[in-house]
Amino acid sequence: MGSLTEANLKKLAGARSFERGRGYLDAVSGVEVGDGWVTASVHGTERYEVELTLDAPGGLSGECDCPYGLEGNFCKHLVALGLTVLAQRESLPRQRKAARERAQDLDGWLSALSKDELLDLLRQQISEDRQLRRRLELRAASARGDLTTVRSHIRGLLDIGPFAQYGYVEYADARAYAEQAEQAVSAIAALTGSGRAADAITLAREAMRLLAEAVESVDDSDGRLGQIGADLADAHLDACRAARPDPEELARWLVGHALGDLDDGLTDIDPLDYEEVLGEAGMAVLRKRAVEAWRGNRRGWAEKYLMERLAKAGGDVDAVIAVHAADLSPSGHTHLVIARELDAARRPDEALRWAERGIGEARDARDLADVDTALVDYLCDRYAQAGRLADAVALRRDHFGARRTLLAYQQLRAAARVADCWPAEREGALALLRVDAEEQQQGWYGGPVLLDALLDDKDVDAAWEAATQTGAHDRQWLTLADKARSTRPADALGVYLRLAEPLTKQTGNTVYEQLVSLLLSIRDCHRRLGTEDELAVYVTALRTAQKRKRNLMRLMDEQGL
């Protein structure tokens, strides 16, 4: 009980869910207290089943079948149940004691029953509980080795038909389907445990195919089928370890699974997990089939991934490079991957050549604008480490010439300063940006990159002159005004007044906050200019025109406007 406190509920749920949980106290019903747990129903959008575990190893925990709870969150419904229990905390020890006594009484009663009496009781439960009957039927078929019946049951458990409307299992029914699918995986694992691992292998593979077909028609937003697929893969591996199937056949199946339609991410089987089962002969077949598949489709993602995994596992860096080199990206990204592999293998000279090759091929294609910037960064870093500063500047210059972004400008500036040649490089870079500005070419956020570069250089006067000549985005004008306000208050005032005007015709708290921020800047300009009287006239007129906007008036009052 010590872990069940309001503080812990708030810590687990977060402040927002905790407060929302308070509003659900009247929606809690059917509270049942066990020895260490409490369950109830909470009526929200739907009726949800919730359970609090009071004595978990990590402290208080809970589960709820609402969408938020199924994602593993401590939801408002759990908060509501926790607060309900806390409201009757004095009686909780007594209720827990009564639950223990009931469990002991039930266990004592069952233990005293004869075999026939227990069988009668079980048969009665089977007749009333269809799910229990199915589970026990499946266990019975597994125990007697009736593969036909087990296969039939597993097919039924993985059939979406009973849950699907118009051929699709909606989110509301997906959990019930997943619980049924879990029974199929449990049955397959049970076959291995009962000495029928070979049968488990056969059924696991069939179940993978059925599950892969089913997932296309199930809303698996909670990812439960993904976990079931992983459990199914584990069941298959366990069965292979127990049965020791023909290693060559297993190798062929693993490659086919990795490259075929069943490799949908659900089972996510890694052939290397089977290395001990495959042995040398099986691994040899695995490698051979993987190489053949890759040579037949060098650009196939699955083929490349399998080849790369096998090559890395074998420590064959050259094979890894060959896989990547067979499908080089025009952006140079693949060259970068190869360079990093070679760096990891302590072959830096080859790594440098591959990086330079990637840049060279991009230059030859006149496509340096689309080159992977990480490759440019990598090569410039290598040049800097080797003291090849002129080469680093040249690459940054070419990259900037192709892209002409603020980031490329900043990177050129950093490299040129290290090489002590920034003034000359800056002149050339700004000349390119002036051409772009005159041609009205804008940067990513709007407005000429020239202004962003000059502002980044803290050359405010040059930036103001450029903005006046070529125009600027409002974002740039605002930045300019903020930086120039102390030296050019009259110019800055004109910018602020122009930017404020359209905001007076809009509504919304965000707009009001922007407008008040501009008003504060306007006030500062007037104070610098000694024209406070003009400010008073402006603010009075603004208040008269905007008086119905109560939130705006409140914000202005708070700032003394």
Residues contacting residue 490 through CB under 8 Å, at least 6 positions apart: 525, 529
Q: Is the pLDDT of residue 122 over 60?
A: yes
SS3 298: coil
The H or E element that residue 192 is part of is helix 171-193
Residue 55 C-alpha from the chain's centroid: 32
Rounded mean pLDDT, 528-547: 92
Residue 440: the pLDDT is: 75
Q: Is the pLDDT of residue 263 over 70?
A: no
Q: Rounded mean pLDDT of the chain?
A: 88
CA distance linking residue 469 with residue 524, whole number of Å: 26
Rounded mean pLDDT, 74-89: 90
Q: Is the pLDDT of residue 195 over 80?
A: yes
Give the DSSP per-residue string, 523-552: HHHHHHHT-HHHHHHHHHHHHHHHTT-HHH
Q: In terms of DSSP H, where are the helices of 76-114? A: 76-87, 92-112
Q: Is the pLDDT of residue 494 over 90?
A: yes
Contact 369, 403 (CB under 8 A): yes
Q: Lowest mean pLDDT of 72-76, 205-209, 345-349, 377-381, name the range.
A: 72-76
Q: Write the pLDDT tens digit of every residue in 406-443.
A: 999 999 999 999 999 999 999 999 999 999 888 876 55
Q: Write the pLDDT tens digit of every residue in 229-257.
A: 989 999 999 999 999 999 999 999 999 98
Residues contacting residue 334 through CB under 8 Å, at least 6 positions apart: 324, 325, 327, 328, 358
Q: Lowest mean pLDDT of 34-43, 240-249, 414-423, 493-502, name the range.
A: 34-43
The H or E element that residue 48 is part of is strand 47-53
Residues contacting residue 501 through CB under 8 Å, at least 6 positions apart: none
Rounded mean pLDDT, 115-132: 82
Rounded mean pLDDT, 388-409: 93
Q: Is the pLDDT of residue 172 over 80?
A: no
Residue 293: the pLDDT is: 87
Residue 191: the pLDDT is: 87
Q: Is the pLDDT of residue 515 over 70?
A: yes
Q: Lowest mean pLDDT of 60-74, 241-255, 377-391, name the range.
A: 60-74
Q: Is the pLDDT of residue 130 over 80?
A: no
Rounded mean pLDDT, 474-489: 92
Per-residue confidence band for 264, with pLDDT thresholds at 50, 70 and 90? low
Residue 445: the pLDDT is: 60
- Ranked by mean pLDDT, which of 166-170, 439-443, 520-524 comes out on top? 520-524
Of residues 102 and 387, which shows the higher confidence score?
387
Helix, strand, coil shares, percent, the chain, to 5: 70, 5, 25
Residues contacting residue 540 through CB under 8 Å, at least 6 positions apart: none
Q: Is the pLDDT of residue 146 over 80?
A: no
Contact 330, 360 (CB under 8 A): no
Of residues 45 and 175, which shows the higher confidence score?
175
Per-residue confidence band for 120, with pLDDT thresholds at 50, 70 and 90? confident
Residue 234: the pLDDT is: 92
Per-residue confidence band for 187, with pLDDT thresholds at 50, 70 and 90? confident
Q: Is the pLDDT of residue 76 over 80?
A: yes
Residue 149 C-alpha from the chain's centroid: 41
Residue 2: the pLDDT is: 57
Q: Is the pLDDT of residue 516 over 60?
A: yes
Q: Is the pLDDT of residue 97 over 90?
A: no
Residue 245: the pLDDT is: 93
